[in-house]
Structure 1
């Protein structure tokens, strides 16, 4: 009998039919060591998942997969499977909330494809700090946020802000995104009268209210996040930096803003120009480059960086 980890007898039944061709209900029950009634249940489970099983009567009859109407006819190639594997490994190493669910989905996709898979694929993962919270509670919180969004019901949340501590907010959910292994909710905040990025793990308590909210049709995801260096959406700044090698190479490898301009110099340094949002994170970004960066403009940013360095020096 074919053994596949993390999937049930329904998938095993499908694999048997796929590998051996048409099989009678009694033959399947014998192979899986279950009753014929249970085979009927597995058939129903598979159909709910989009894998349809047809039956033919007679001496040479039995169950077979309906390839015309099933998701088994999705025409995946080896490169597609490889990409799915890479994403799956990245989710595992990021300790993503939905890593187990995605792993199960990939297992099922592999089970219904006839592609011979290469066992020597190169490992793919990302290296970064993992989130430190109860994943079961966070997953439930996210599911409730999704429900509030689908039903367009307002959320009442008790949210912890690093600047102001805990406060109650009435918010209208608009979407979720992942940033540095943490999940954020973009929502319109009635208290602040603007859109805010809320870190989901900092929502202590929440209630789905019976009051509905009207979607602001002018909200645009691309415009909302455009030219923001991170999650901060505070002051916009027109930036000009002189960046030395080797950081000049690292900066050239990414698009930090749609309007960025990079001028290369003979000494392998660059001049970086851009108009960007997120003044708070821009400062952190520049400080992370240490002595390899010089702020040309604006003067306020140059002064703020100098003051921050002085504060750091006082700690040593």
Structure 2
């Protein structure tokens, strides 16, 4: 792509004192004429590139526009590399690899070791231990569709298992709570939808190119809505599930109950999702109050037991 080539040429000119048009043409496998046009574009963008003729001639950026590598502190470079390195573990592609290489070119030799140590202090891996093997290849297909503005077709299962065939215009990939989603305009529903990747199957990229419409960002922060819906219930848990309960509330909600148990003020909404959370703690969790939720837990537990009795 021309934009990628222009950025790369700028980085090369920042790194080298002078380079010829033929050298640049050989690097990018284009003609010298194309390089001259690229230099004109860079000049029009406000970056003054000077051309020297004769033996040893070539292009260079005026010294007053050179970027001093020391402009980035050790902390700055560590933060940038940390973000790019962790991003590369989730999204593969030449763009991230190239960006990493460019940032690393700014690292002075005398600071390389210190920066490497700081980058390795934090590692983020949001991929599941086990899970849907289609997620990674589907991400690559969706990235291509996003870059080329091509339609996607797929089968989609809702939370009850009902499957429908959809055609969607892709607009954004979203990573929320360790789950990937596609925000797209569904042509079957004539509206924007947030599709969970684990519910997608038979994904295909179409040859049809769509004209992007006014983009509607997905609503991802439900904190205020949940705060108005949640109420506190009291549960008694064994210490073995404490770390999992802490995913939903803070330690301030815990009160020691003997040597191995805690009573917890647990945020709760009366729906399937929250009842399933309580059941996920197994026999290490007991609902103490209110009585009607305790009764409902007993009813559901009896229904589960009946499945095995039969």
TM-score greater than 0.5 by the shorter chain: yes
Secondary structure of the residue aligned to 1:273 is: strand
How many Å separate the matches in 2 of 1:74 and 1:203?
A: 49
CA RMSD of aligned residues (A): 5.7
How many Å separate the matches in 2 of 1:203 and 1:265?
A: 46
Contact 2:52–2:58 (CA<8 Å) still a contact in 1?
Answer: yes
Shifted more, 105-114 versus 135-144: the winner is 135-144
Secondary structure of the residue aligned to 1:265 is: strand
How many Å separate the matches in 2 of 1:209 and 1:38?
A: 31
Q: Tell me which residue corresponds to 1:166.
A: 163
**Matches of residues 109-258 of structure 1 in structure 2 within 5 Å?**
109-112=103-106, 116-118=111-113, 119-120=116-117, 121-122=119-120, 124-126=123-125, 128-129=128-129, 131-133=132-134, 135=136, 138-141=139-142, 144=145, 158-161=155-158, 163-168=160-165, 176-179=173-176, 182-186=179-183, 197-200=194-197, 202=200, 204=202, 220-223=219-222, 227=226, 239-252=233-246, 254=247, 256=248
Q: Tell me which residue corresponds to 1:271.
A: 264
User: Normalized per residue, which structure has more helix?
Assistant: 2
Displacement, 1:245? Answer: 1.6
Displacement, 1:306? Answer: 1.7
Change (3 A) 1:240 1:107: farther
Displacement, 1:25? Answer: 1.9
* Aligned length, in residue pairs: 289
Q: Tell me which residue corresponds to 2:77.
A: 81
Secondary structure of the residue aligned to 1:198 is: strand
- Residue ranges of structure 1 left out of the alignment (5+ in a row): 1-6, 229-234
Shifted more, 56-65 versus 240-249: the winner is 56-65
Q: Tell me which residue corresponds to 2:281.
A: 289
Contact 2:69–2:108 (CA<8 Å) still a contact in 1?
Answer: no
Q: TM-score, normalised by structure 2?
A: 0.60
Change (3 A) 1:213 1:84: closer
Q: Are positions 1:262 and 2:253 aligned together?
A: yes
Q: Are positions 1:55 and 2:50 aligned together?
A: yes
Q: TM-score, normalised by structure 1?
A: 0.59
How many Å separate the matches in 2 of 1:72 and 1:306?
A: 67
CA deviation digits over 1:26-56, x for unaligned, max 9?
79579979999289369659949x8956215
Contact 2:234–2:265 (CA<8 Å) still a contact in 1?
Answer: yes
Change (3 A) 1:141 1:51: farther
Q: Are positions 1:107 and 2:101 aligned together?
A: yes
Q: Tell me which residue corresponds to 1:232.
A: none
CA deviation digits over 1:206-264, x for unaligned, max 9?
778989988889x7432389549xxxxxx977543223324335534x4x379x97142
Contact 2:22–2:32 (CA<8 Å) still a contact in 1?
Answer: no
Q: Are positions 1:22 and 2:21 aligned together?
A: no
Secondary structure of the residue aligned to 1:269 is: strand
- Residue ranges of structure 2 left out of the alignment (5+ in a row): none
Secondary structure of the residue aligned to 1:303 is: helix
CA deviation digits over 1:57-84, x for unaligned, max 9?
4789753346876888895432333334
How many Å separate the matches in 2 of 1:64 and 1:213?
A: 41
Shifted more, 304-313 versus 65-74: the winner is 65-74
How many Å separate the matches in 2 of 1:24 and 1:210?
A: 41
Contact 2:77–2:107 (CA<8 Å) still a contact in 1?
Answer: no
Displacement, 1:174? Answer: 7.8
Contact 1:53–1:63 (CA<8 Å) still a contact in 2?
Answer: no
Contact 1:240–1:295 (CA<8 Å) still a contact in 2?
Answer: yes
